[in-house]
Amino acid sequence: MNDLIPHLFRTEYRKIVSVLCRRFGFQEIEVAEDIASDTFLTASQSWGIEGVPPNPVGWLYQVAKNKAKNHLRRNTIWQEKIAPDIQDHAPFSGGADIDLSAQNIMDSQLQMMFAICHPAISAESQIALSLRILCGFGIDEIADAFHTSKDTINKRLLRAKEKLREAGIGIEMPEAAQVEVRLEPVLATIYLLFNEGYYSMSKNKALRRDLCLEAMRLCTMLVENPQTNEPQVNALLSLMCFHASRFDARLDDHGELVVIEAQNTDLWNTDLISKGGYFLRNSARGQALSRYHLEAAIAYWHTVQEDTADKWENILQCYNQLLQLHYTPTAALNRTYAFSKVHGKPSAIREAEKLDLKNNHFYELLLGELYTGIDTPKAQAHFHNALALAKSEVEKQAIRKKMVPG
């Protein structure tokens, strides 16, 4: 039971909260969370005495239903019997039906996804709420992911919920004409959630992997729903599959980063690479080209093990298009590395120095790589700058390996 309840909390908490929020509305999101949390507290107490029931999930759902019905009955009594004597309240409407069927759970989670990923709140808050409500992460885990305190996370979640309430955001699917527009912040949140796990420097390896898997799960829900199975959604899922396929090869036995050229390709997950190709093909529908299409194509070419000129030319062209469509400093740096593979280091150095990304340790690291073999003192100077700017010990250790002794 020690492992069962935490596992069920991760998989079922989000479902119960989403269904109850859909039933109660965003105004009572804390009530939905309290009922879900109390359900697991009851399970812990009851199962510890009576043993685990034959159908643990069914037991949790029934207890959550009963607690929700009790809340609704109390609310009804308040609205109908007590409130009229105090102030003029509109009568509470609706029965006490709580639908925890598989279809309603799926629909509720999708609707909650669109509600949480609303532009009314910041991207940072969207990720935090997604981790808590859609992924069932505890406050400790979210604080670990953001490298901050529990108090900060609690305040962030509280502010985000309040803003969504003030904006009158409903828990519902957008109208068909609005789906594509509303998908953009949803996909951006899933993308950031995946990156938080994939590029995180947290020492908690299980947490990093879970973050990535949760992002992929949310994107899979969108792909499986006819209303949201759009090309850009398939492209994002493809991108995540390609990146996740190399998860086991990114760190060595000492927890240090391994660059892709030095990775043990036997550790790459060929099943995920195959799935990435499947979703990339599915993304080819229509005429629209998103950043996720281009990033998925780049990620695909990185799964090609042969280091050929054709491979790097394709990667470079994808980066050229990506920078025109969605410029980021990271993409510009990665594009410069691909440029060096096609046109050589001297030309790439001129391209890199145009970027002039001060106080960016990835920029200093790139220049160190480009000057290696051309100008050793300059290469080492840039590696020293990168070391001074790097924030995590994992990154610092990787940089030290590139520096000459003394």
Write the pLDDT tens digit of every residue in 181-191: 889 999 999 99
DSSP letter assigned to residue 247: G
Mean pLDDT, rounded, of the chain = 88
Pick from 357, 321, 276, 243: nearest CA to 335: 321
Pick from 340, 332, 401, 326: nearest CA to 363: 332
Q: Which two tokens stand for residue 341?
A: 């593979």
Phi, psi for residue 324 in degrees, rounded to 5: -70, -35
- Which pLDDT tens digit goes with each residue over 232-247? 999 999 999 999 999 9
Q: Is the pLDDT of residue 37 over 60?
A: yes
Confidence bin at 360 (pLDDT 50/70/90): very high
Confidence bin at 91 (pLDDT 50/70/90): very low
Q: Where are the alpha helices (DSSP H) in 121-230?
A: 123-129, 139-146, 150-166, 179-198, 205-224
Top pLDDT among 405 and 142 is at 142
Top pLDDT among 147 and 281 is at 281
DSSP letter assigned to residue 82: I
Is the dihedral angle over the CA atoms 350, 356, 357, 363 positive or is it negative?
A: positive
Please tell me the predicted confidence (pLDDT) of residue 241. 98
Please tell me the predicted confidence (pLDDT) of residue 144. 82
What is the pTM (predicted TM-score) of this model?
0.86
Side-chain-side CA neighbours of residue 291 (13 Å): 12
Looking at residues 114-121, what average pLDDT do you find? Answer: 90
Within 10 angstroms of residue 218's Cβ, the number of other Cβ atoms is 23
Looking at residues 388-405, what average pLDDT do you find? Answer: 83
Query: Per-residue DSSP letters for 33-86?
Result: HHHHHHHHHHHHHHHHHH---SSHHHHHHHHHHHHHHHHHHHHHHIIIIIHHHH
- Which pLDDT tens digit goes with each residue over 265-302? 999 999 999 999 999 999 999 888 999 999 999 999 99
Residue length of the chain: 406
Pick from 241, 154, 145, 228: nearest CA to 193: 145
Q: Is the pLDDT of residue 198 over 90?
A: no
Give the residue carrying structure tokens 């509303």.
182
Pairwise CA distance, residues 231 & 234, whole Å: 5
Please tell me the predicted confidence (pLDDT) of residue 403. 85
